[in-house]
Structure formats: C-alpha cells, structure tokens
Structure 1
C-alpha cells in the first residue's frame, strides 16, 4: 500500500477555521479528480490540518509523486508508513527496522511532531529514538544542523507515521479558491510563467491568444497552454480563446504614428481582452509584462496602456528580471517550448516612445477603424482546453494517424533534444529522423519530398498540431505516428 501525507501551504494553515475548511475541501476534491485519473481506487482522506492519499498500486508510485508535486495548495508531501504503537520503546523498534540500513556512515537527526496525550514529550521521543539508533549503528552520528538524513515522525494519539521520503509541492492555494482570470498568452517565457503563478495562487486561469503569426504560431501557443493546464490545473476545465489580430495590426501600420505603434497595439489588446473577459464573466486580465523589459513596458507607457482596459490588470512578473523568468520557466518545465517559440511582435517601431502621452495616443486612435477590432473579437474562437487534441485531429482530416507504419515510412521524432536523449525512439524496420518541432517548419522542405513522413511525439499533441501546420503549408506527404503502446 502506497501512503502519502499531504501538508497544506502555510498561508492556508493561518486562515480562519471556516476558510481553512473550505480550502482543504477544495484540495481534497482536486486530489480525487487528478489522482483518480491515474488510479480509480485512490483513497483521499481529509484530516483538517493535513490530508492522506493511499493507493493499492505500488507500480504507480512515481506517477503519483509527479502529480502531487504539481497540485496547487500542497507545500510538501511525504511518503509514509503508518502503524499502531504501545509505548516509546515500541516506536523506537519500528523506526529502527525501517532506517537502520540507511544510517551507516551518515549524520542524522530525528524530528518528531506529536498530538494527543502521552507519557513523553516530542523532545523526549527525539532523544530516545536518536540515542537508540546511535547506539545500534556505531558509524552513524547524531547531528542536529544539516544532517545527511532526517528521520521525520508524527505521533497522533496511538498512531505512528514514519516519513520515509520527503517531496516539495508547488505551494499556493487550491483551485479555484480565488476566482478566474484571463491570461494573455503568446507562448514565450513571460506569459507562460505569469500563467503558472496565477494558477499557483489558486486562480482558475483561462487563456487568450492574439494570433499575429498564422497557423504555426497558434499551434505552438495551443501546445504551451495545453502543457500548463495539463501539468498544473488538470482538475478544472478552462477556455482557450484565439483572436485573429492580423487585420488590427495592418490598420495600426497604416494609421498610427511610428513611435506610438507598440503602445497602441497593447491598448488594442487590452481593449479586446477586457471585452472577451466580460463575455466570459471574468474580472481580471493577466499579462507577463515586466518593468523596463521592452519600450512599451515603462511605467509611463503601462499607465497609458491601462487606460484602455475595462478590467483589472494583473502583472505577476512586474519586478522580475528576464533571467529569473527564464529560470522559473525551466523549473516548471516550459523553458524548452518557450525558447523555440518565434517572436511575433506585430509592429516594430524604429524609435518607439518610452514616455507616451495619453492625449497624443488617444488623438492618434481617432484614425483607427474600431470596427476592425470589434470584428476580430466577434470572430474569436473559444475552445475548451481539453479539446485541443480533438481540435487538432479534426483539422488534419486529410492526414492519416497510423498505429502501424507502412514498409517505406520515415518517422520524424519531433520531440525536444532533451527528450530524445533520455528516451530515444528505436524502430527496427523504419528509419527515424530526429527533427525537433521548433525546426520542423523551416527544415521539412529540405527532406526528400518523394517520401512519406510520420511525426511522432510522446503525448501525441504536438505531432498532430505540427501536422496541421505542414498541411496548411501545402505538404501532403505527412502523417502522424501514434504507436499502440
């Protein structure tokens, strides 16, 4: 039996009893929803100050650990063994049976948390168990500061909980304890990390994409949104909204003064975002803007941009340096995809203003045809994020998805280099060509076009989305390889 004890984020623990109860109930429900997709028989128990998870399938250990580390509201969790005990010496003997083989040559400490009425204190238990283990293993040494091994025990009434391995969670609040937000996502580092931070804060995060780069741009951004949702907010359905902003950009290029183009583009985006948010009943918009990162993100320009918004603007990265953002992107598993995403700036000013004057910007917008903005909003595509795979399949009606490859097929492994290195695709009867998805659009044309190619990736999402892009570029000799196992 696999057993885990789940610790709440500290901010939950200091809330009032009613708020804390609501938060733990949300977390309990989310655990059942997410872990239940891995193990239908998983058991989740809510004990107010912590939760426990039990599974009768030890082969799912690593999958459950990965899932638990990505659920908002969990500050840490530990794999544990639970048992009954009679007295302090009985506790020592049980701990000795589990840890004695791990102690030779190591420094260690014993940490005990105790609840209930006992004849000993937590300090008494730590000294008794630690001293006993030190006597039994001569090469081990008790060290209270920075030991190599920390033995964590919890004693609750007549139950002993031994923490055999400790893991960090993502912290924050359970979804959706803090309402909904609409995140402007471009597929790059900033918007991806900003979306993650909102999820971590307990906000159900929907995605709004302004398409400036055509099908290839949308395919990549859909994959990014899908990845963030699947990894960090799988417990709740969210929307992915795509707005074709090419006509708006063209109008800006024709009607707006060169130095004001960037600010006006951002104002058009927040106008559109506000209206989309209102139509979805969402009160706040999230962006990945950071002070001084580009010309449009000076304090003066951000103030002018905000004047166009009818919704609350949230900027979780406002004080972060670029390297800090990239480091966090790497930590949450989106760095590779964000790094491969092309930059679609929409408009590029030779001398962009860093001190926009609101009255001048508003005057320049008099010449902008606002009907184009409204038309773009009215034609927005609103998708359930869970249907990203389905939508991709529907789009590639002329492209086959094969489980068994033809004899002369060539497989394109489009996974990132890190993935192919860890788990190379090996097919005995077919040639495999490694071509990362972020190089596919530029390099596919250089391949022998008399051959038939089959895109492959682990989850099957990116291979389908990239097949869409290649088909729309006019290539008919591409399909998707989805093996049966």
Structure 2
C-alpha cells in the first residue's frame, strides 16, 4: 500500500468555524471521486487539516490535480511507543539517503507526547550522524522530514505541490465562453480553481473541425473538475455570423461579434441559472479586446450574472506556459481559430454609439433564434458527431441538388419581385417527401428555419449565403476560365 498526507489549501483553515467544514467535506468528496475514477482501491480520512490517504498504487498524479490541495507527501507510517522507536525507524529508512552527505532533520508534531519536536530531531539526528558527512541546518544536501501525529510517526519520502485554490462546488456555477483555445481553456480552469462548477458554452462558427477540437479539449479539462461532471452547451452561431458579415461594416465586425457572443452567454446564464459568465479575454491581446472595446461590450450587454475575466492581465506567454504545465498544450494547439470575420483593419477604439447603431441592423429574431438553438450534453459522454448533428452543422448547402425543393422564406412581396428560378414561397409549402432548401437574403434566418423544420422530420437545408451569396457564387463560376 502507498500512504500520503494531503494538506488542504491554506485558505480553508482561515474560514469561519461554520464555513470550514463545508469546504473540507467538498475536498474529501473531490479526493474520493478522483481516486475512484483512477481505479484505485483507497481509504481517505481527515483530522486537523490533514487528509490521510491510503491507496493500492501510486496516486501522486491524481492528488496533484485536485483543487483545494495545497501540497501532499508520500509517507511511511509507523506506530511508535517511544522516542527511541521513532529514531530507530528513521535510521532504517534514511541511512542510505544521508550516507556521505550533510543533512538536517525537520520535525512537525501534533498531539500529546512526553517529548518535543526538538527532542525528536535530536534523537533522529544522533542515529543518522554516523552515516553522514555531518549536520548542516542551513544548507543541507538531504532533509529528513518527519511528522508525528498522535501515536504515529510519518516519515516523508517525497512531496509535491497541489493545485491550490478551493474545492470545486464551493462557489456557485459558472459558464465559460469556450472555444478550446489557450485563453478560454485556462480561464475555465482558473474559475474552477476558485471553487466554481464550470460548464462550457461553445459557439459553433460553421467549422466542424474547430468544434471537434473544442470537444476534445473540454474532455481533458473536465478531468480537473472532479468531483463535478461538467456540461457542454452548444449554440449554432452561424446565423449571427451571417448577419454580421452582411450588415455590419468590416472595421466594426469583431466588436459587434464580441457583443453578440456576450449577449448570447448572458441570456443563457439567466435562462439556465448560472452565477457568472467566464471569458478568456486578455486586455490588448486582440484588436477587439482593447480596453476601449471591452468597455463598449460591457456597456451594451445587459449583465444578468457576474462577468469574470481571469486572464485580463495575463501575457500570452504566461497563458501558454500554464496550459503546457497542465499537460493540455498538445490538445489545445490543434484547435482552429475561426472567429475573425473582418476583411481589413479592425477598430481598436470603437465608440458606443457606432456599435449600438450597427447592432440595430442585426435581426433580433435571428439573435433570439440562436439563443433558443442551444443543446446540452454531458462532456464525458458527448461525441463530436452527436454534437454536430444536434446543432445542424450540415444544414448549409451551396447549391440545390436535382429533385430537391427550393423554398423562399422572405415575405411574399420580396418573393414576387425577385426569387430564384424554380423556387416556391414558404406559404405554398405543404407536406413534402423530398429534401427542401430554404433561402433568405443573407442565409441567417434560413438556417434557423431549416433547423426548426428538421424538428418536424423534414429533411431541410439552408442555401449558404442566401440569395446574395448564391448569386455571387454563380457569377464567379461563370468568370472562371474553362
């Protein structure tokens, strides 16, 4: 068997006598769940700020990844009856380690004993001196560490730093805007480190590979959230992308996009009962993350929950380094970046009034439809295939295959004045047994309409880019040399 002394985070003992037991129970649950998930046979007990862990295998890696753990040591426990017993066992365990080297003995003690910590240090030092090159309390080559607790002496063999922070589940619920990139990944972890139960909000931007990568990262990050089993909330954001691309001038698109991302997140935290929205925004890291642009975002988005930016003052190098330390780099580095939609320079100092004016051109119906499109999955069980199918990732098509029905969903006047060849109006649509392709001006409202029709069993799709996008593709095809 392997034995460990696990010290709780330094913040926990500072809690009031009413609050502290709740944190310690939460940490006990986290340790037990982590050990169980690792397949270990174990026993955990608690006394006076220390968790005693007994396991049938090396679980140091497991213990190092539980929030609320300050540090922990692998130990050899020994039930003693006298001071001589303690020094004799120490001699057996450490004589080879101190051979020919300068050493020091460090002792901690709790409980009622007939001796002090200094008495133990002197007795152990005397027993080891003959094997060593002498004692050096200031700069020893070897430290012999012993903790005497009650009737047991614990001889420390090796120690590790823990994750620190607070046990997950002690500080409410948070929803992270999650792309699976370096920033949102670390922001999620830092929110969990402060005790929050963190779920992931992923906005599907029309690139299946990016969503697949985000899901892979979420599964790895979720392993740090023990005992909480996080959820993945996915929204088809493509209709809003289409709105912004088609209706907002290029230099403002990134700022408007950020406003809409925050609006979707705040609407969902209100609907689903979260206490906070978490983002990976870092001041100045991107053009839409300047202080002026973040001020615009915060001014225009009505807060329904706290907004947390754990990385606001972090450098990119710090963020990447920390992700690497957490052994997540190889997963995160594969995730595609997909949310740049400006075609030229991006406004770094937008004014509230101009962004507010630009937002007026974004359809409220499309925004509400995007919010309503959310789907919820358990991170541990979710597959990319299931998620992409659930949000209708295959809903857009570039053309109308033979035998499919083309349907114009704009108002009838627009349809009468100018519709694509062969199209019928949505008002003329009755029960169909062939696939249908819906279109609007820009391809945003038609995505939502197609997703809604699919709920009724109709094999429905949306014409990518709407009328304007389709005609542009036709013109470009005619201009290509044959």
TM-score interval, normalised by the smaller of the two chains: 0.7 to 0.9
* Rounded Cα–Cα distance in structure 2 between residues aligned with 1:381 and 1:359: 34
Paired residue for 2:92, among 89, 97, 114?
97
Deviating above 6 A after TM superposition, structure 1's stretches of 4 or more consecutive aligned residues are none
| Residue matched to 2:364 | 370
5+ residue gaps, structure 2, are 390-482
| Residue matched to 2:382 | 388
How far off is 1:11 after superposition? Answer: 0.8
Paired residue for 1:274, among 256, 266, 271?
266
5+ residue gaps, structure 1, are 396-485
Is residue 2:204 matched to residue 1:211? yes
| Residue matched to 2:319 | 325
* Rounded Cα–Cα distance in structure 2 between residues aligned with 1:4 and 1:366: 60
For the Cα contact (< 8 Å) 2:168–2:226, is it kept in 1? no
| Residue matched to 1:155 | 148
Task: Note the alpha carbon deviations across 1:161-194, whole angstroms, 9 max, x for none.
Answer: 1112112211111111111110111111111111
Query: How is 1:439-454 mapped onto 2 (pairs within 5 angstroms)?
Result: none
* Rounded Cα–Cα distance in structure 2 between residues aligned with 1:141 and 1:208: 60
Judging changes above 3 Å, is the alpha-carbon distance between structure 1 residues 114 and 350 closer, same or farther for their aligned structure 2 residues? same
* Rounded Cα–Cα distance in structure 1 between residues aligned with 2:288 and 2:62: 38
| Residue matched to 1:37 | 37
For the Cα contact (< 8 Å) 2:103–2:137, is it kept in 1? yes
| Residue matched to 2:51 | 51
Is residue 2:232 matched to residue 1:240? yes
Task: Note the alpha carbon deviations across 1:108-156, whole angstroms, 9 max, x for none.
Answer: 221111112333321232233123312x213x33333353332221112
For the Cα contact (< 8 Å) 1:262–1:349, is it kept in 2? no
How far off is 1:261 after superposition? Answer: 0.9
Paired residue for 1:170, among 163, 166, 169?
163
RMSD: 2.0
Indicate the SS of the match to 2:184.
helix
Paired residue for 2:255, among 258, 263, 270?
263
Is residue 2:209 matched to residue 1:223? no
What is the TM-score of this pair, normalised by structure 1?
Answer: 0.76
Task: Note the alpha carbon deviations across 1:397-444, whole angstroms, 9 max, x for none.
Answer: xxxxxxxxxxxxxxxxxxxxxxxxxxxxxxxxxxxxxxxxxxxxxxxx
Indicate the SS of the match to 1:114.
strand
Task: Note the alpha carbon deviations across 1:364-417, whole angstroms, 9 max, x for none.
Answer: 11111121121112112211112125965997xxxxxxxxxxxxxxxxxxxxxx
How far off is 1:87 after superposition? Answer: 2.2
* Rounded Cα–Cα distance in structure 2 between residues aligned with 1:228 and 1:66: 15
Task: Note the alpha carbon deviations across 1:197-221, whole angstroms, 9 max, x for none.
Answer: 1111111110001111422111110
Is residue 2:66 matched to residue 1:71? yes
Paired residue for 1:183, among 158, 161, 176?
176
For the Cα contact (< 8 Å) 1:270–1:309, is it kept in 2? no
* Rounded Cα–Cα distance in structure 1 between residues aligned with 2:231 and 2:289: 27
Indicate the SS of the match to 2:170.
coil
* Rounded Cα–Cα distance in structure 1 between residues aligned with 2:385 and 2:287: 37
Indicate the SS of the match to 1:10.
coil
For the Cα contact (< 8 Å) 1:249–1:346, is it kept in 2? no
Is residue 2:245 matched to residue 1:253? yes
* Rounded Cα–Cα distance in structure 1 between residues aligned with 2:203 and 2:332: 16
Is residue 2:115 matched to residue 1:120? yes
What is the TM-score of this pair, normalised by structure 2?
Answer: 0.77
Judging changes above 3 Å, is the alpha-carbon distance between structure 1 residues 31 and 366 closer, same or farther for their aligned structure 2 residues? same
How far off is 1:98 after superposition? Answer: 0.9
* Rounded Cα–Cα distance in structure 2 between residues aligned with 1:288 and 1:144: 46
Indicate the SS of the match to 1:289.
coil
* Rounded Cα–Cα distance in structure 2 between residues aligned with 1:237 and 1:279: 20
| Residue matched to 1:313 | 307
How far off is 1:67 after superposition? Answer: 1.0
Which has the higher Rg, Structure 1 or Structure 2?
2
Judging changes above 3 Å, is the alpha-carbon distance between structure 1 residues 377 and 281 closer, same or farther for their aligned structure 2 residues? same
How far off is 1:70 after superposition? Answer: 0.4
Judging changes above 3 Å, is the alpha-carbon distance between structure 1 residues 90 and 4 closer, same or farther for their aligned structure 2 residues? same
Judging changes above 3 Å, is the alpha-carbon distance between structure 1 residues 146 and 241 closer, same or farther for their aligned structure 2 residues? farther
How far off is 1:349 after superposition? Answer: 4.8
How far off is 1:335 after superposition? Answer: 1.3
Is residue 2:2 matched to residue 1:2? yes
| Residue matched to 1:413 | none
Judging changes above 3 Å, is the alpha-carbon distance between structure 1 residues 355 and 347 closer, same or farther for their aligned structure 2 residues? same
How far off is 1:316 after superposition? Answer: 0.5
| Residue matched to 2:282 | 290
Task: Note the alpha carbon deviations across 1:237-268, whole angstroms, 9 max, x for none.
Answer: 22101111121111111111222111110000
For the Cα contact (< 8 Å) 1:241–1:381, is it kept in 2? yes
Task: Note the alpha carbon deviations across 1:287-338, whole angstroms, 9 max, x for none.
Answer: 1111111111111111111121423210111111110111001001111222
| Residue matched to 1:108 | 103
* Rounded Cα–Cα distance in structure 2 between residues aligned with 1:150 and 1:260: 61
